[in-house]
Amino acid sequence: MCSLSMAASPGSGGVVSITCPTCSETVLQPPGSKRTICPRCGNFYERASAERPPSYHRSREKRGRGKGDQNDKGKSGPLNVITSLFRSSPDEKRRDRGSTSSEHGTSKSTELPRIEGGGGHLTGQQNQNRPTYLSTGGSRTSRSPRSSPNPDRSPKSPSPNPSKVNYPVRTKTAEQLKEDVSMCRSSGDWHTVQDFYATLFESFIELNAAFKRDPSKEYKTTDDPGLKFDLLTSVFSTLLTLPQDLQKEVLKAIINSLLKDKRSRDHRVWPNTKDDLRAYLILIHNPQFSNMTTYVIFAHLLRQIAALSDHDHHFLVHWLRRIPSDQFKSIVGRLHNFISCRLFPPKPQDLPPLSKCTWWIPSATKVMALFNAANNLSLPSIVPYTDFYNSSLDHLDLMAEYYAWQNPSSHAGFSFCQYPFILSIAAKRTILQKDSEQQMIIMARKSLVAKVQRRQLPDIGMLFLNLTVRRSHLVSDSLNEIARKHHDLKKKLKVTFAGEPGLDMGGLTKEWFLLLIRQIFQPEYGMFNYDKMAGVYWFSAMPCENYQEFNLVGVLMGLAVYNSINLDIRFPPCCYKKLLSPAVVPFSNPRATVGVITVTLDDLMHVKPEVAKGLKDLMEYEEDVEEDFCLSFEVSNSEYGSMKTVPLKPNGDNIPVTKENRKEYVQLYVEFILNKSVYPQFQAFYHGFHSVCASNALIMLRPEEVEMLVCGSPTINISDLKKVTIYEGYSPQDQTIRYFWEMVTGMPMELQKKLLLFATGSDRIPIGGTQEMQFKISRISGTDLLPMAHTCFNQLVLPPYKSRKVLKQKLIAAIQNAEGFGLE
């Protein structure tokens, strides 16, 4: 907590000078008053300064409303920096800054409300110091000069239990609010609506009284925050349509409620109650925080939420799941804008200097983490995980963020890498690639030093991972080369086909990947099984003497990520979850269990849909399971043409499956298929991948993001592809080219993906978009030919067909019958 630095000014009659611990701004403070917020940077001096001491209020009561009030008013109040948000003209702003000692520097309509004295706002002891209108039928002093009776604000009688919160009765509904606004708009008199909003936001207890479905209930479970979300939506959507003066009153009330400290008169700090958490949940919905002029207030709200205990955050995360998806998305967008505008302000003069409010971005990011946690807990998710990406962070020094995260002892403080959900996949790829480049440079430097030590002449080849393979022995040669040069795997890859002249400028490397992947994944090779219904490959459970070929596939995937090559590999989502379990190979224990995750029936549905459907039917069967299914706790596997039975638990062949134990049977069955039966195969695959991609940056990745790094982005934009296309023998204005793009643009997405697969060898694009690839259309004579492709160079060979009809027939015939490098 920040502390005050005070010194008495000589000859000032007890006036004290206060120095802000954040920006070193010094201001004078009259005796008996106590500043809360620095007028320069907007930071709190100290949390306990949110209210004036009780002795000061008593002395004011004795003096009455005389000169002391005028002097207090002339000092512009404890929120001078935030007061400027409510000035109605630039002249008033300048007048306020230039005459803080004047008695009439601001008009009545621009004054901030006085912070109510007396301690806290929610517990029983605190509530005794609240104004009496909250618990009795007495009158209250309104923040507005106008005061009109409202039946929806009739107070409740005091509770005999001093530890129980006494809520005022607030019965306003969304329909009543709509009617009030309509009447005020017609008459031009906004007294009723202004009084409602000013009262609503003046304290946390008022927020709970208005928005709790039943104020008599405590709602202390994570299942339900107990809020009227329909009223919440109506209140905030209506707020933006109200006059500006009324909107300013709401912001003043929010400031007042945020600054009320949770200390009682005996200086004990009361823990946050569930009503406090509900109030934070309500306030963060405020759409006014989309405006940059409200960011000082928004920042303090975010800081208070971020500073809550883990227990309180646990409740908030579960309550955030109850927010409607459109509002959830809006709040996430508001947080993104806050972070982006703080990092790259369009008008820097409108915000305090970044160096003076370094806590803004960490606070907003921590609150964003609560929303991300709520989204991850929800099935299905409330919004796509990509909605948490902040693309403006792509322009930061990402490696500085990464090194700060990797070296907390020498770079103490906040780093976005601590919250990887906010970094886009492009940013994570940049970090991963630059980290790999550093490792490549280190490996190349070691090779150079070794050459010099052996008194050998260095050559350019030592900077690369050079593989020489024969086409006729592609798999075996690749295995031997990788095993022989496993220390060089983190160098830049270059491939040479034996007996074939040519310099690898990227085309030979891509061809090697495509040929090798195609051969390894052929059914007759026996390493992977393809499920046509799921459209994915899965590891064969058949045991073998050597699992090096599975290791090779892992190495291939790692090399593809390091060398920015998209592979046409179709693994189910659980495969990438297993690859990140753990994300970093245990260094101290190389034999540690890897690739084992908690799996569910949904995971099996993506691998073997028919088997998963049968197990689901078993779970939903209402009749006699034991009699009708005749199952026991064992599973049958096919090995080399014969069936082998494996028990799922000890003595499983003698344990029948019944309605009572079928859930256990299904879980053991799924565990066996996805974990146990393929463990040695996946272990070799895991270590192959991590032998290349051994980077701590993998910790930041989601399984879906690993898939995108390996296979590319599934989102295709034909307009973007057209922009990066180059032509050989054609020009963009040629009739054939115009016909081609008109037809491709009108294709369904499935055909567009098949065209991309036909021409490039993958139906996906780089994660950075089409601007990271080159697409080429070449001309060839012979209109009777089908279109052809050179996938190694992303090249489509297109004859000059005479009509749009012929072009469509030929192109669709080619892409629908093509498989790899030939036609079926």
Residue 72 phi, psi (nearest 5): -65, -40
Contacts of 590 (CB under 8 A, 6+ apart): none
Using CB atoms within 10 Å of the CB of residue 786, give its burial: 0 to 12 exposed, 13 to 18 middle, 19+ buried. Answer: middle
Residue 736 phi, psi (nearest 5): -60, -40
Q: Provide the 3-class DSSP secondary structure of residue 465.
A: strand
CB 456 within 8 A of CB 486: no
Q: How is 534-597 classified by DSSP, letter by letter?
A: TTEEEE-----S--HHHHHHHHHHHHHHHTT--------HHHHHHHTTTSS--SS-TTS--S--
Cα–Cα distance between 543 and 108 in angstroms, integer? 84
Alpha helices in 344-468 (DSSP H): 360-377, 398-406, 425-453
Ranges assigned E (strand) in 205-321? none
Cα–Cα distance between 29 and 15 in angstroms, integer? 6
Cα–Cα distance between 739 and 723 in angstroms, integer? 16
H or E element that contains 342: helix 325-343
487 closest CA partner among 455, 530, 439, 525: 439
Residue 453 phi, psi (nearest 5): -65, -30
Residue 393 identity: L
Kindly list the distances between the CA atom of residue 5 and the CA atoms of 34, 126, 391, 550, in Å, as whole numbers in the listed order.
Answer: 13, 29, 41, 66
DSSP 29: E
Q: Is 792 a catalytic residue?
A: yes
CB 335 within 8 A of CB 367: yes
Query: Which tokens is 634 given?
Result: 């064992």
Catalytic residue among 38, 417, 711, 792: 792
Which amino acids are annotated catalytic? 792
